[in-house]
């Protein structure tokens, strides 16, 4: 037995793409139990505690992404020293130079790993230039470090979009004199790599998390109960709502939408809206609970987004850590709602140029040139339009770039652009609407239904693998709509549709009720908490699908 264990130990400890450490696998909870046990021995000494959590977070990332933990170490090292040199610099041009080094380095890393094939396709379609991205890092690392990176393709490291944004927030906040640099590189490494939120967020601001590095560890009974609640809540969301709906309904329709009716395609879109929320917020809930057990507070990332009464309200409730990051580090620096900056119009010009180069017909660049000339003349001679343009251009840019952050395809750019357009149209509607959606139940119902419908329809570009597939499923929602077969659809898919309806109804429970039962669980005796946990595990086991569904936001 001992020989078998010694033989298996290196296999368990080494990286395996088929056995990553994620919240839905038993391996994570074994790992976390060991971490908690050791944590109890080191938590009183902050330097040792932070160093320990940095090392286990690195190991967690190694188990998730293999040799890409070296990239995480690179980003950590660069931004730690840049932050220190930036803080010591007194001359303004030197401060700007150091923060530029951080931003350019982080964005270069992000673009190299996430967007090379997008730009290769752009060069081929727009200019006829053939460029094949080469994974130089893999060739060098395999040759000199003995790693086993794939050498024929640049792979996307898990969580790179999250930790690069965290690194940039650190140096930018130091530049703005909002925080001071951390004392030790191991402390900074812990901030960047904290394993509960490393691979799928929430994006943690340096100004919010770094002060916690030097606070005494405390865990009250109520905090333990609340952490326990968030972990169970997240797992139930992920494994019952998200995975069951995906495996038994949404994935089937999106795989071959032409085989399904318009009603089935529409229901699949609503199913995916619930799936992506339950999947991502489920991960966040577990991350918050795990962090709480170690005495750390993570950023709130969701606030019942499908209760939103407008597109603007939705984006205040959805992926809050990203929305506020884009607001504070992109939207406001571009000019916010005051005016369009030089950078704003430069980005617009470049975006339109890219679209022109990608177009197959010369009519597209000619039409765009005509639109630009018309907008220029209109803004030049009509002051109200000029003010409207300056107010809204940065909204559109922020949403377009936010969409591009999610993925290197025109689908995500389209999704971001449509949501930006929705925000602009809502601002116009808010000025002329004859009622306020908050003054009557009719107004609230209209606001909730119209917002949910808009968000759901735009998710076609978020979910579908390509533009044609997104248009296909949207087209079928009205060209192939046949309500006469509604009864057959309900009978054939009654289980996943029932789970979907239950998920939306739970989502719409008033917040004060949710806060109440959350507090009741947190304050209940441990025995009752364990009973609830046992029932939750039994429910999850009964609903598990044959194939484990990866967390959706791992791909970003």
Residue 10 is predicted with a pLDDT of 58
What lies within 8 Å, CB to CB, of 460 at 6+ separation is 269, 470, 471, 473, 474
Report the candidate in 212, 226, 238, 213 with the shortest Cα–Cα distance to residue 290.
Answer: 226
What does the pLDDT look like over 471-497, one tens digit per residue? 888 888 888 777 778 788 888 888 888
Q: Where are the alpha helices (DSSP H) in 382-440?
A: 383-406, 410-432
Sign of CA dihedral 98, 181, 169, 80: positive
Residue 337 is predicted with a pLDDT of 66
Look at residue 410 and give its three-state secondary structure. Answer: helix
Tokens found for residue 66:
């293999």
pTM of the model: 0.87
* Cα 27 from Cα 21, distance rounded (Å): 6
Task: Flag residues of the chain having pLDDT under 50.
Answer: 1-2, 4-8, 546
First to last CA, the chain: 42
Map out the domains of the chain as residue ranges: 16-217, 219-306+460-556, 310-436
Torsion, CA 404, CA 405, CA 411, CA 415, rounded to 10? -90
* Cα 304 from Cα 301, distance rounded (Å): 10
């Amino acid at each position: 037995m001992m020989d078998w264990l010694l033989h298996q130990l290196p296999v368990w400890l080494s990286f395996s793409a088929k056995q990553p450490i994620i919240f839905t696998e038993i391996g994570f909870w074994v790992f976390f139990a060991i971490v908690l046990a050791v944590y109890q021995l080191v938590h009183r000494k902050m330097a040792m505690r932070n160093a320990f959590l940095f090392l286990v977070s690195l190991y967690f990332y190694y188990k998730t992404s293999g040799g890409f933990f070296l990239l995480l170490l690179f980003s950590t090292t660069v931004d730690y020293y840049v932050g220190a040199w930036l803080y010591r610099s007194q001359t303004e041009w030197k401060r700007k130079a150091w923060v530029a080094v951080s931003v350019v380095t982080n964005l270069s890393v992000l673009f190299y790993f996430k967007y090379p094939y997008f730009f290769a396709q752009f060069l081929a379609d727009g200019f006829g230039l053939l460029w094949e991205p080469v994974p130089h890092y893999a060739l060098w690392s395999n040759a000199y470090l003995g790693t086993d990176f794939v050498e024929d393709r640049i792979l996307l490291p898990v969580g790179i979009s999250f930790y690069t944004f965290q690194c940039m927030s650190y140096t930018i906040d130091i530049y703005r004199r909002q925080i001071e640099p951390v004392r030790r590189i191991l402390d900074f490494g812990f901030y960047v790599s904290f394993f509960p939120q490393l691979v799928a967020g929430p994006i943690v601001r340096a100004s919010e998390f770094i002060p916690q590095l030097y606070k005494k560890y405390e865990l009250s009974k109520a905090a333990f109960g609340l952490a326990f609640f968030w972990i169970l809540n997240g797992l139930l969301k992920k494994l019952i709502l998200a995975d069951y709906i995906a495996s038994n309904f949404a994935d089937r329709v999106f795989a071959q939408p032409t085989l399904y009716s318009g009603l089935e395609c529409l229901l699949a879109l609503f199913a995916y809206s619930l799936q992506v929320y339950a999947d991502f917020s489920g991960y966040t809930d577990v991350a918050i609970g795990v962090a709480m057990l170690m005495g750390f507070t993570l950023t709130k990332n969701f606030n019942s987004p499908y209760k939103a009464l407008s597109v603007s309200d939705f984006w205040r409730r959805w992926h809050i850590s990203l929305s506020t990051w884009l607001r504070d580090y992109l939207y406001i620096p571009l000019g916010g709602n005051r005016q369009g900056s030089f950078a704003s119009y430069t980005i617009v010009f470049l975006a339109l140029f890219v679209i022109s180069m990608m177009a197959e017909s010369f009519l597209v660049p000619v039409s765009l040139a005509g639109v630009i000339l018309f907008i220029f003349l209109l803004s030049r001679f009509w002051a109200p339009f000029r003010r409207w343009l300056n107010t809204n251009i940065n909204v559109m840019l922020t949403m377009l770039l936010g969409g591009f952050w999610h993925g290197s395809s025109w689908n995500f750019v389209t999704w971001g652009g449509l949501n930006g357009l929705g925000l602009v149209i809502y601002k116009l509607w808010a000025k002329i609407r004859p009622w306020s959606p908050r003054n009557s139940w009719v107004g609230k119902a209209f606001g909730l239904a119209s917002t949910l419908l808009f968000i759901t329809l735009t998710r076609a570009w978020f979910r579908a693998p390509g533009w044609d597939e997104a248009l296909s499923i949207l087209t079928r929602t009205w060209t192939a709509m046949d309500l006469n077969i509604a009864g057959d659809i309900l009978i054939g898919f009654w289980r996943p549709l029932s789970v979907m309806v239950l998920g939306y109804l739970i989502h719409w429970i008033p917040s004060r009720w949710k806060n109440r039962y959350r507090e009741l669980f947190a304050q209940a005796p441990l025995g009752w908490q364990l009973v609830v946990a046992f029932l939750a595990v039994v429910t999850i086991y009964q609903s598990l699908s044959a194939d484990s569904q990866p967390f959706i936001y791992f791909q970003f």
